[in-house]
């Protein structure tokens, strides 16, 4: 992956997190600091875990994909 691809992927993830956080902010009647930290933690955890889950899925399916990747 080149640097442009990495930057575009990170911008897409940032826009997704921004949209969900704005929607969560509109939906809450009263914003508490505890809720803000909870939302930030889950965003960070999921965005950190998604590449690891994708990597593990790729490693697991590597043998299956290599038999048909010539198509």
- Phi, psi dihedral angles at 70 (to 5 degrees): -75, -15
pTM score: 0.57
- What are the distances in angstroms from CA 35 to CA 5, 24, 42? 33, 10, 11
Which of the four pLDDT bands, split at 50, 70 and 90, describes residue 59? Answer: very high
* Mean pLDDT computed over 7-15: 87
């Amino acid at each position: 992956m080149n640097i442009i691809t990495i930057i575009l992927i990170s911008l897409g993830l940032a826009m997704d997190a921004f949209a969900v956080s704005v929607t969560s902010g509109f939906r809450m009647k009263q914003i508490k600091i505890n809720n803000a930290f909870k939302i930030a933690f889950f965003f960070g955890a999921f965005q950190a875990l998604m590449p690891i889950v994708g990597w593990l899925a790729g490693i697991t399916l590597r043998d299956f994909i290599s038999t048909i990747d010539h198509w």
